[in-house]
Amino acid sequence: MPRILMAASEAVPFVKTGGLADVMGALPVALRARGEDVGVVLPRYRGMRLNGARRVFDGLKVWLGADGFRADIYCTEHENVPFFLVDSPALFDREGIYGDGKEDFPDNYVRYAVFAHAVLAVARHLFRPQVFHCHDWQAGLVPVLLKSTLWGDPTFAGARTLFTIHNLGYHGLFPLAAMAEIGLDDSLLHPDAMEFYGKASFLKGALEMSDALSTVSPRYAREIQTPELGFGLDGLLRKRADVLKGILNGVDYSTWNPETDPLIAARYSDANLEGKREAKRDLLATVGLPEQALNKPLAGIVSRFVGQKGFDLIADAADRLLSEDLYLVALGSGNPQYEKLFLDLAAARPDRVGVHIGYNDPLAHKIEAGCDMFLMPSRYEPCGLNQFYSLRYGTIPVVRATGGLDDSVDEETGFKFAEYSGDALLGAVRGALEAYADRPRWKKMMLAGMAKDFSWHASAAEYSALYRHLLG
């Protein structure tokens, strides 16, 4: 049984800013259920409680910078998977995960370099893996260090690395001059390693130096090899295409299931949809929309408000969307420009648009359950998770045909549009409104979506096969 050590910057139930955390909370558990021996390393951020965690390594010293950094390692079990928490207060005990809400922390390269060293220390002293499975740039230095400084270290002889790209849009880019501070050798600051247009890229280093690469949907694995969605790394990804595989994310149905969800007003299932109406009534009251909307089509959005998510299209089509018989509820936070977009819409049409700015997990569940349709007009989407949740909650997804959205929604279960334009979005929404007016057709689509099974089981099996393939 190969031993797998994963490294990532967030995981449910410990810390979450986006879908990476959902994946990191569920994939290891699904692998464990298949009998894999898997552990996970995370930073311990402020507010992450240590109830029940054991301190398993005292005073790890990472010799970077003038004085070095100290970290204690704690271990706690989540659903039978050991999670190792790297506790280094100087780096992680602060308000915010990646930044203060306005800007990224300027010392992120130090934070995630120390994290990478701590991952390697966990591997050396506590949980020695055959495969390091690293996720996104924050874990990118792990494969880089294994292939450079630690090359030939007998502790890691034969260990293989898999790097999963959850989002190619985030590079972990830092000044080349700063890399000496984290002990990176000049030879790594080369175009065949970490150098990217005059900067150092943690992501590029990982893409160059991992034994295998994966993305979180098959279509995204193809898209990132094109200049359009390759973020300047498409050439490298084409070069590495033989070791690049797309594995679609799954869903944790123990958290996202209308039959058991404690966060919604009433439970329901495909056999009895009554509760969905109650959930809609409750959602309308929660976001301050009029009760008469109960019999009208209600569309939902839950998202990080960033350029990737396609809200330019909502801006472009908003007037025309709201001249249709459509109600809208949006939850999210991020870029002030998009927060303003939604706040302005709600101010102009309080009878039609309910908006909540912020991060709110219970409200996210209420929106999944209470809406009729769910909008994801993403410019690009490595996988996307809300369309899966929507399908299970009988909330019909209207999505742009990109990445994992295209891989998981079809004509039987939702509405897709291809062109990145407000007109195309509007066309798909109008298609959905037409279907909504035809109750039997709508119900048939709801039931088709609810019957889909995107549980982690199948994806975990693909990762298992990939680990074995890597180990030959």
> Per rule CB under 6 A, is residue 250 in the interface with ligand GLC?
no
> Per rule CB under 6 A, is residue 18 in the interface with ligand ADP?
yes
> Per rule CB under 6 A, is residue 249 in the interface with ligand GLC?
yes
Nearer to ligand GLC, 156 or 417 (CB): 417
Q: Which residues between 17 and 76 bind ligand GLC (CB under 6 A)? A: 18-20, 23
Least Å from the CB of residue 119 to ligand ADP:
22
**Sequential DSSP letters for 163-204:** EEES-TT---EEEGGGGGGGT--GGGSSTTTTEETTEEEHHH
Q: Tell me the CB-side half-sphere exposure of residue 160, using CA atoms within 13 A.
A: 16
Nearest to 371 by CA among 306, 284, 433, 272: 284
Q: Choose one: 72-80, 181-189, 201-209, 380-388; the region binding ligand GLC (CB under 6 A).
A: 380-388
Q: Which does 215 bind (CB under 5 to 8 A by kind): ligand ADP, ligand GLC, none?
A: none
Structure tokens at 394: 């009988």
Q: Choose one: 224-232, 356-364, 378-386, 430-438; the region binding ligand GLC (CB under 6 A).
A: 378-386
Q: Which does 333 bind (CB under 5 to 8 A by kind): ligand GLC, ligand ADP, none?
A: ligand ADP
**Exposed (0-12), middle (13-18) or buried (19+): which is 187, by Cβ within 10 Å?**
exposed
415 has which bridge partners?
A: 398
Least Å from the CB of residue 135 to ligand GLC:
8
Q: Which does 364 bind (CB under 5 to 8 A by kind): ligand ADP, ligand GLC, none?
A: ligand ADP
Q: Which does 331 bind (CB under 5 to 8 A by kind): ligand GLC, ligand ADP, none?
A: ligand ADP
CA–CA distance, 175 with 192 (Å, rounded to integer): 17
> Per rule CB under 6 A, is residue 333 in the interface with ligand ADP?
yes
CA–CA distance, 213 with 87 (Å, rounded to integer): 28
Nearer to ligand ADP, 3 or 452 (CB): 452
Nearer to ligand GLC, 12 or 279 (CB): 12
Q: Which residue is nearest to ligand GLC (CB)?
A: 19
Q: Name the DSSP class of 104.
A: B
Q: Choose one: 28-36, 142-150, 259-267, 329-337; the region binding ligand ADP (CB under 6 A).
A: 329-337
Least Å from the CB of residue 109 to ligand GLC:
20
C-alpha torsion sign, points 103, 105, 108, 111: negative
173 has which bridge partners?
A: 201
Q: Name the DSSP class of 61.
A: E
> Per rule CB under 6 A, is residue 144 in the interface with ligand ADP?
no
Q: At what angle do helices 274-287 and 361-370 cross, to 10 degrees?
A: 130
Write the single-letter amino acid at 234: D
Least Å from the CB of residue 249 to ligand GLC:
5
Nearest to 327 by CA among 438, 436, 450: 436
334: enclosing H helix or E strand: strand 327-334
C-alpha torsion sign, points 195, 197, 198, 203: negative
Q: At what angle do helices 311-323 and 336-348 cross, to 10 degrees?
A: 10
74 has which bridge partners?
A: 55, 85
Q: Choose one: 12-20, 123-131, 314-322, 389-397; the region binding ligand GLC (CB under 6 A).
A: 12-20
CA–CA distance, 36 with 6 (Å, rounded to integer): 12
Q: Choose one: 86-94, 123-131, 379-387, 450-458; the region binding ligand GLC (CB under 6 A).
A: 379-387
Q: Which of 216, 373, 409, 432 binds ligand GLC (CB under 6 A)?
A: 216
CA–CA distance, 386 with 408 (Å, rounded to integer): 11
Structure tokens at 389: 């949740």
> Per rule CB under 6 A, is residue 218 in the interface with ligand ADP?
no
> Per rule CB under 6 A, is residue 381 in the interface with ligand GLC?
yes
> Per rule CB under 6 A, is residue 360 in the interface with ligand ADP?
yes
> Per rule CB under 6 A, is residue 336 in the interface with ligand ADP?
no
Least Å from the CB of residue 465 to ligand GLC:
19
Q: Which of 247, 283, 313, 364 binds ligand ADP (CB under 6 A)?
A: 364
> Per rule CB under 6 A, is residue 31 in the interface with ligand ADP?
no
Least Å from the CB of residue 321 to ligand ADP:
21
Q: Which does 407 bind (CB under 5 to 8 A by kind): ligand ADP, ligand GLC, none?
A: none
> Per rule CB under 6 A, is residue 148 in the interface with ligand ADP?
no
Strand, coil or helix: 319: helix
Residues 6 or more apart in contact with residue 23 via CB below 8 angstroms:
135, 166, 216, 249
CA–CA distance, 257 with 185 (Å, rounded to integer): 49
Q: Which of 100, 104, 361, 410 binds ligand ADP (CB under 6 A)?
A: 361
Neighbours of 285 (CB within 10 A): 14
Binding site for ligand GLC (CB under 6 A): 18-20, 23, 166-167, 216, 249, 381-385, 404
Binding site for ligand ADP (CB under 6 A): 18-20, 22, 302-304, 331-333, 359-361, 364, 383-386
